[in-house]
C-alpha cells in the first residue's frame, strides 16, 4: 500500500490593516530589548502585511547597527582607561535607542512611517 501524501502547508492568512499596524509598531517597540523581537517579527510577518515588511525591516536594520556598536564597545571596554568612556557611550546609546524605539512605535501606531535618523540599511 502506498502512504498518502501529506498536503502542502498553506501560507498564513494576510494580516488585517489593524494587525499590520500593530505588529509594525511592535517591531519598533521591541528594539528596546535589541535584536530578537525585531528579527522575529520581521521573519514571521513580512510576507503577511506591507506595513510590517517596511517597518520591520527598518527596525531590524536599526537594531543590527546598534547591536554591532554594542559589541564593538564591549570589546573596547577591555582596554585600560577606555572602559570609562565605553560605559558612558553604552548609557548614551541605551537612552538614544529607547527614545528612537518609542518614537518609531508611536508614529507607526498612529498610522505613519518611521525612519531612524542614522541607519545603515543592511537589509534592502
Q: What is the tens place of the pLDDT at every residue in 54-96?
A: 999 999 999 999 999 999 999 988 888 888 889 899 999 999 9
Whether the full predicted model's pTM is greater than 0.75, yes or no, is yes
For the chain, the C-alpha Rg in angstroms (whole number) is 19
Tell whether the model's pLDDT for residue 53 goes beyond 90: yes
Q: Is residue 42 part of a domain?
A: yes
Q: Is residue 116 part of a domain?
A: no
Let me know: does 122 contact 116? Beta carbons within 8 Å: no
Q: Is residue 122 part of a domain?
A: no
Q: What is the tens place of the pLDDT at every residue in 94-118?
A: 999 999 999 999 999 998 999 998 8
Q: Is residue 65 part of a domain?
A: yes
The number of domains in the chain is: 1
Q: Residue 76: which domain range?
A: 17-109
DSSP symbol at 48? T
Amino acid at each position: 500500500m502506498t502512504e498518502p501524501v501529506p498536503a502542502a502547508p498553506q501560507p498564513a492568512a494576510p494580516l488585517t490593516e489593524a494587525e499590520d499596524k500593530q505588529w509594525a509598531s511592535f517591531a519598533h517597540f521591541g528594539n528596546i530589548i535589541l535584536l530578537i523581537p525585531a528579527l522575529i517579527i520581521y521573519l514571521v510577518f513580512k510576507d503577511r502585511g506591507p506595513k510590517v515588511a517596511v517597518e520591520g525591516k527598518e527596525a531590524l536594520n536599526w537594531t543590527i547597527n546598534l547591536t554591532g556598536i554594542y559589541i564593538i564597545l564591549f570589546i573596547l571596554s577591555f582596554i585600560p582607561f577606555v572602559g570609562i568612556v565605553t560605559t558612558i557611550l553604552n548609557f548614551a546609546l541605551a537612552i538614544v535607542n529607547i527614545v528612537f524605539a518609542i518614537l518609531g512605535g508611536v508614529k507607526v501606531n498612529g498610522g505613519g512611517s518611521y525612519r531612524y535618523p542614522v541607519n545603515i540599511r543592511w537589509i534592502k
